[in-house]
């Protein structure tokens, strides 16, 4: 939605990023007995001024992926290129200038603000850390930020508990904005909020993006919210991206059966539509990422499963139509569908 001319250049390029957490046994001589494959080969490119929405069920690795991009977690392998620079292996001091450009808004506005610090301090702390401006300037900037996010600058000296959930999330946004970052990672920023307040925060994030030419990674499990805010959407399942395309294409013509199941599960607010349509209910839960299923990781839950193909050959994430990547051997032919099974199967069985 940005009008800035720099839009279109890649800001963040992630290539084949892997993050495994070892499971160890023993205290002195820790022996690795397994690994949680939280993120297992994720690649994407994010252009300046764009919003990448990341959707998926809990446990699919979307937050771990974001934390790796933020360099809050060490990646196991792969490269992260930010603004033309490989930041994958930068150490603490080299990272400092990069940290200014990468900021994060967290999910829980109650847990992510220090209850013993005043709001002005919370917002201005990053300025102090990065030694930007004199204390007086920092205070002015914090007050300015409060105003930008729609709070009263006079509330500078208040504590977080004096604010409601939505107001606290505004403080979280102001804190992320303080050092004028280029990329903000929003990890489920509205899922703890009421719908009316949720819309306020979404509109705020959108207008800030226009005003400050921000780039967002927006993580959410709510497909409605992602549709509202994103330019591109990546759907994650068990540590991998299974589908990635523009917002319009993803919601109008999903290719991966998992995306289809997710979309069909979103409740509709029109009661007649809601009661007449058939929800595709996926059986079971997301499998354990310690022992992910072989080949296509979605195959045990997939209504289009073909024995001998889906459980043997891992489908690559490839272009199914222009700018539309999906990792599936039998992508959906059309949308909407009330039955996700392959057309051949639908005719043979009831």
Partner 1 sequence: MALLEVRDLKTHFHTDDGVVRAVDGVSFSVEKGKTLAIVGESGSGKSVTCLSVMGLNPKRGTDVSGEALFNGRDLLKLSGEELRNIRGAEMSMIFQDPMTSLNPVHTIGRQLREAVHVHEKVPKQQAQARALEMLKAVGIPRAETRTDDYPHQFSGGMRQRVMIAMALINNPDLLIADEPTTALDVTTQAQIISLMSRLQRDFGSAIILITHDLGVVAETADEVMVMYAGRAVEQAPYKGLFYQPHHPYTWGLMDSMPNLAGDETDLTPIPGTPPSLLRPPKGCKFNPRCRFVMDVCRETEPELKPVPGDANHLERCHLEEAVKQAEIERITTERLGAVS
Q: What would the DSSP string read from start to end of 67-131?
A: HHHTTSS--SEEEEEETTEE-TT--HHHHHHHHTTEEEE-S-TTTSS-TTS-HHHHHHHHHHHTT
Is-contact 6 213, C-beta < 8 A? yes
Q: Least Å distance between CB 125 and partner 1? A: 26
**Closer CB to partner 1, 171 or 225, in the complex:** 225
Classify residue 44 by burial, with Cβ atoms within 10 Å: 0-12, 13-18, 19+.
buried
**Closer CB to partner 1, 128 or 268, in the complex:** 268
Classify residue 80 by burial, with Cβ atoms within 10 Å: 0-12, 13-18, 19+.
buried
Q: Least Å distance between CB 135 and partner 1? A: 32
**Closer CB to partner 1, 116 or 275, in the complex:** 275
- Strand 102-105 relative to strand 183-187: parallel, antiparallel, unpaired? parallel
CA–centroid distance for 130 within its chain: 26
**Closer CB to partner 1, 126 or 337, in the complex:** 337
Supply 232's token pair.
């591109």
Is-contact 141 149, C-beta < 8 A? no
- Strand 85-86 relative to strand 31-47: parallel, antiparallel, unpaired? unpaired
In sequence order, what are the residues at sequence separation of 6 or more whose Cβ sits closer than 8 angstroms to the Cβ of residue 346? 339
**Closer CB to partner 1, 129 or 252, in the complex:** 252
**Closer CB to partner 1, 87 or 105, in the complex:** 105
Which residues are at the interface with partner 1 (CB under 8 A)? 57-59, 164-167, 194-200, 202-203, 221-225, 227-228, 247, 251, 261-275, 279, 281-282, 284-286
**Closer CB to partner 1, 133 or 292, in the complex:** 292
**Closer CB to partner 1, 126 or 186, in the complex:** 186
Cross-sheet strand order for the sheet of 215-220: 102-105, 183-187, 215-220, 51-55, 232-237, 240-246, 324-326, 318-321
Closest residue by Cα to residue 255 from 267, 265, 245, 264: 245
Q: Least Å distance between CB 160 and partner 1? A: 15
> How long a stretch of residues is the chain?
350
Distances (CA, A) of 179 to 101, 123, 138, 212, 250: 8, 10, 10, 12, 34
Run of H or E including 33: strand 31-47
Q: Least Å distance between CB 69 and partner 1? A: 22
């Amino acid at each position: 939605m940005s009008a800035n001319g720099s839009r279109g250049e890649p800001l963040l390029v992630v290539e084949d990023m892997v993050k495994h957490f070892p499971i160890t046994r023993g205290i002195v001589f820790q022996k690795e007995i397994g690994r949680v494959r939280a993120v297992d080969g994720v690649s994407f490119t994010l252009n300046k001024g764009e919003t990448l929405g990341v959707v998926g069920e809990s446990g699919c690795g979307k937050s771990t992926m974001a934390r790796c991009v933020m360099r809050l977690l060490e990646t196991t392998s792969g490269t992260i290129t930010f603004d033309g620079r490989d930041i994958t292996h930068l150490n603490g001091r080299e990272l400092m200038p990069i940290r200014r450009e990468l900021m994060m808004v967290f999910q829980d506005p109650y847990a992510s603000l220090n209850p013993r610090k005043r709001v002005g301090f919370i917002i201005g702390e990053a300025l102090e850390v990065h030694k930007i401006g004199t204390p007086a300037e920092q205070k002015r900037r914090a007050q300015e930020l409060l105003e930008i996010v729609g709070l009263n600058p006079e509330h500078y000296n208040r504590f977080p508990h004096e604010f409601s959930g939505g107001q606290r999330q505004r403080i979280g946004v102001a804190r992320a904005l303080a050092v004028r970052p280029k990329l903000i990672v929003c990890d489920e920023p509205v899922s703890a909020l009421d719908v009316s307040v949720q819309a306020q925060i979404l509109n705020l994030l959108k207008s800030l993006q226009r005003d400050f030419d921000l780039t967002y990674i927006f993580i959410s499990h709510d497909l409605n919210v992602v549709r509202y805010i994103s330019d591109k959407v990546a759907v994650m399942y068990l540590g991998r991206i299974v589908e990635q395309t523009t917002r319009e294409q993803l919601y109008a013509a999903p290719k991966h059966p998992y995306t289809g199941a997710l979309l069909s599960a979103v409740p509709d607010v029109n009661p007649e539509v809601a009661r007449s349509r058939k929800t595709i209910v996926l059986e079971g839960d997301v499998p354990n990422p310690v022992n992910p299923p072989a080949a296509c990781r979605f195959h045990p839950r997939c209504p289009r499963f073909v024995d001998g193909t889906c459980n043997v050959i891992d489908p690559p994430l490839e272009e199914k139509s222009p700018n539309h990547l999906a990792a599936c051997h039998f992508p959906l032919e059309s949308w909407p569908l009330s039955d996700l099974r392959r057309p051949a199967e639908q005719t043979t069985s009831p």
